[in-house]
Amino acid sequence: MSVVLKKHLVNWSWVIVRSVLIIGLCFLIINPVFVKLSTTVMTEEDIFDPTVQWVPRNFNLSRIGKHYLDVAQKMNYVRSTFNSLVFSLVISICQLVSCTIVGYGFGRFNFRGKGLLFGLVVFTLVVPPQMVVIPLFLNFRYFDFFGLLKDGGVNLIGTYWPLVLTALTGTGPRNGLFIYIARQHFRGMPRALEESAYIDGAGQFRTFWKIMLPGALPIMLVIFLFSFVWQWNDIFYTSIFMRGGMPLLPFSLRNLTGQYHWSISAEYKTIINNTGMVLFILPLLVMYVFLQRYFIESIERTGIVG
Amino acid sequence: MKNPFKLSLTQKQNYAGYLWISPFVIGFILFFFAPMLQSFRFSVSKLSFTPDGYELAYVGLENFKYALTVDPNFIQYFTETIISVLVNIPAVILFSFFIATLLNQEFKGRTLARAIFFLPVILTAGVLHELEVEDLMYLTTQDESNVLFSAAMVKNFLLDMSLPQGIIDYVIMAASNIPQIIEYSAIPILIFLAGLQSVPSHLYECAKMEGATGWEIFWKITFPLVSPLFLTNVIFITVYSFTAPGNRLVEYISSLTWGRGLFGVSVAMSLMYFLAIGVILLVVGYIIERNVFYME
C-alpha cells in the first residue's frame, strides 16, 4: 500500500470517528429540547401510546395553538415575562457596573493588601451560598440600615432591594467570577494608554470613562450576558429574596399546574408543564440564536486563560 | 527636603485604588462576612421569631447532633452528593478537555457544534429541574433499567479485557451520569478551548520542523501549556456543583429551612457541607498544583 493512500485512510477514518462523536453528543444535548417540544403537541393518549415517538397521532394545529394560548394565559405569560425581563436587566446592569469598577481597581492600581483583598473575591466564589443566605434573608427581612433604625426595621423581602444591593456591591451570585474577568482584561491593557491620558490632563474618572471603558466593551458584553442568563434561570436566590413579590416567570412556571383543577391526570400535567418549560426557555433561546457568537467568542477574549 | 506627608502622583493614584474597589469591600463586609459570622452563631443556636424580629438561644452542638443522628436523610444525601462531586470532577475534566481538542480542529459545521455544546448554559434553570421530577416524558428518557442493561453488557466486555475492577466501576458510574457531565462541561469546554487557541503557533511550527508527530506535539506542547487550566476548571466545577440545580443535598437543606423552619439545623448542615467541599478543593488543588506546568 502506498504511503499516500495510507495517510488518506488514516485521515478519513479519523474524520468519520470525529463526526460520529460530535453528532452523537450534539444529539444528546438537543434531544431533551426536542422531547419537550414534541410533548407539548401531544394529547394524553399520545403519551400512553408507545408507538408515538416524535410526531403524535392526533396532530392538530388549531388545537395546539389553543393549548399554548391557554397555558400562556394561566402563566400570565406576557406580564411575568415582562417582569422577569425588567428584573433580570436591572440586576445584571447593576452587577455589570459594580464588577467593572471593582475589576478596574484590581487590574490597574497597586495598593497595599491588594493580594489579600483579591483573595477575598475568590473566597466569595468558593463559599457555598447556603452558608450566607439564611442570615442574609433575616437581615433583609428586618432591615434596620445597620442599626440606624429601631423597632425591628423594614421588610425588604419581595422588593428589588436585596438583589440590587448585593449586585451593586459585587457580592451577588457568582459576581466574583465577573470581577475576575474584568480584572484580567484591565490588567492586560497597555500602561501607555493611561499615561498619555494623564499627561493630557484627564482625571482618573475621565481616563476610565473615555479611554479604558471603550476598550472594555466586549468584556462588558460577556459579563452582562452571563449575568443576565444566570439571573433569568435562577430560582435559588430569587425565590428567597423575592418571596411574595411580583409575579416572575420562574414562579409562574412553578405554580402552573396549581392553576388547573386538582383532578387533572399526571399525563396532562406533563403536557402542561412541558409547554410551560418551552415558553420559559423561549426568550433565552431567541436571544441565544442572535448573540451566540458573543457567548462563544467571549471567553476567548476574556483572558481567563491568559 | 522631601515632605513625608506629600504623596507622589503614583502613590496618590495607588491610594485611589481603594476607592475603586470600595464597593466590593463594603459589600463583602455587610453582605458576606457579617452573614457568615452570623451563620456560625446560628449553627449553635435555636432561632425563634418574635413580633419585631427574631431571637437566638444558645444550644451548643445540639443542631449538629440533630443533623447527624436524628435527621433521617442528611447522612445519606451528604455522602451521595460528596461522592457525585468526586465522581464528576475527573469525568467532567477529561470529557471537556477531549471535546475542546475536538472542537479546536478545523471541520465543517464547527460553529454550529460549538453553539450546541454551549447550549446547556442557557438550558439549566433550577425551576426546570424541579418540574422534571414529575415529568413522565422526561422520565422515559432516564429509564434506569435500560441504562443498567447496556451497562451490564459494557461491564462484561470490560471484564473480558481484564481491566481492574475499580476502573470498570468508575466508568459505569460516570457513564450513567452522562447527561449531568455534559451539562457541567459547557463552561470548562470553553475555558479549555480558549486555552488551546492561545498556545503560540510558533511552538507548533518549530515542533513540526523538527519532525514531531501529532501525538508527540500533543503531549509535549499542547498538554503542558493547557495544564494550568485544569486547576481553574476543577475549582469551577466544584463551585458550580454547589449551586447547580438538581443538587439533592442543597434542595434538602433549603426544604428544611423554608418548609419546616429548622434554621439552626440547616445552617449546621451547610457548614459541614462547606467544610467537606473545602477539604476536597484543598486536596485536589494541591495535587494538581504540584503537577502543573507554568510557562513563566
Residue A93 confidence class, pLDDT cut points 50, 70, 90? very high
Asked whether the beta carbons of B122 and A284 are under 8 A apart, the reply is: yes
C-alpha span between A45 and A51 (Å, rounded): 11
Asked whether the beta carbons of A91 and A164 are under 8 A apart, the reply is: yes
CATH architecture of the domain with residue range A75-302: Orthogonal Bundle (1.10)
Alpha helices in chain B (DSSP H): 9-28, 34-43, 62-65, 74-103, 110-123, 126-132, 136-141, 144-160, 165-175, 178-197, 201-209, 214-217, 223-226, 228-243, 248-254, 260, 263-291
B277 in contact with chain A, both atoms CB, cutoff 8 A: yes
Between positions 28 and 67 of A, the ones with CB within 8 A of B are: 28-33, 35-36, 39, 47
C-alpha span between A242 and A249 (Å, rounded): 12
Residue B172 dihedral angles phi and psi, to the nearest 5°: -60, -45
> What pLDDT does A149 receive?
60
Model's pTM, two decimal places? 0.83
Residue B99 dihedral angles phi and psi, to the nearest 5°: -65, -40
C-alpha span between A81 and A86 (Å, rounded): 9
How confident is the model over A120-148, as pLDDT tens digits?
988 888 787 777 888 888 888 887 766 66
CA distance B167 to chain A (A): 22
Between positions 221 and 260 of B, the ones with CB within 8 A of A are: 229, 232, 235, 239, 242-243, 245, 250, 253-254, 257-258
* pLDDT value at A215 more than 60: yes
Complex ipTM: 0.82
Average pLDDT over residues A103-119: 89
A173 in contact with chain B, both atoms CB, cutoff 8 A: yes
C-alpha span between A269 and A6 (Å, rounded): 58
Say yes or no for a CB contact (<8 Å) between B274 and A127.
yes
Say yes or no for a CB contact (<8 Å) between A270 and B18.
no
Domain locations along chain A: 75-302
Q: What is the DSSP letter of A144?
A: -
C-alpha span between A87 and A239 (Å, rounded): 13
User: Which chain A residues have a beta carbon less than 8 Å from that of B103?
Assistant: 22
Residue labelled with grid coordinates 452558608: A131
User: Which chain A residues have a beta carbon less than 8 Å from that of B179?
Assistant: 28, 32
Asked whether the beta carbons of A95 and A223 are under 8 A apart, the reply is: yes
How confident is the model over B271-290, as pLDDT tens digits?
888 888 888 888 888 888 78
Q: What is the DSSP letter of A143?
A: B
Residue A96 confidence class, pLDDT cut points 50, 70, 90? very high
Q: Which residues, in sequence order, are CB contacts of B139 under 8 Å at separation 6+?
A: none
User: Which chain A residues have a beta carbon less than 8 Å from that of B266?
Assistant: 130, 134
How confident is the model over A9-33, as pLDDT tens digits?
888 898 899 899 889 888 888 888 8
Pick A134's closest partner by Cβ from B113, B131, B263.
B263
How confident is the model over B2-31, as pLDDT tens digits?
566 677 777 777 788 899 999 999 999 988
Average pLDDT over residues B59-75: 83
Q: Say what angle helices A266-302 and A61-74 make with each other, to 10 degrees.
A: 80
Rg of chain A over Cα atoms, rounded to whole angstroms, equals: 25
Say yes or no for a CB contact (<8 Å) between A302 and B20.
no
- Structural domains in chain B, CATH included, are 62-291 (1.10.3720.10)
Judged by DSSP in three states, B211 sits in: coil
C-alpha span between A158 and B209 (Å, rounded): 65
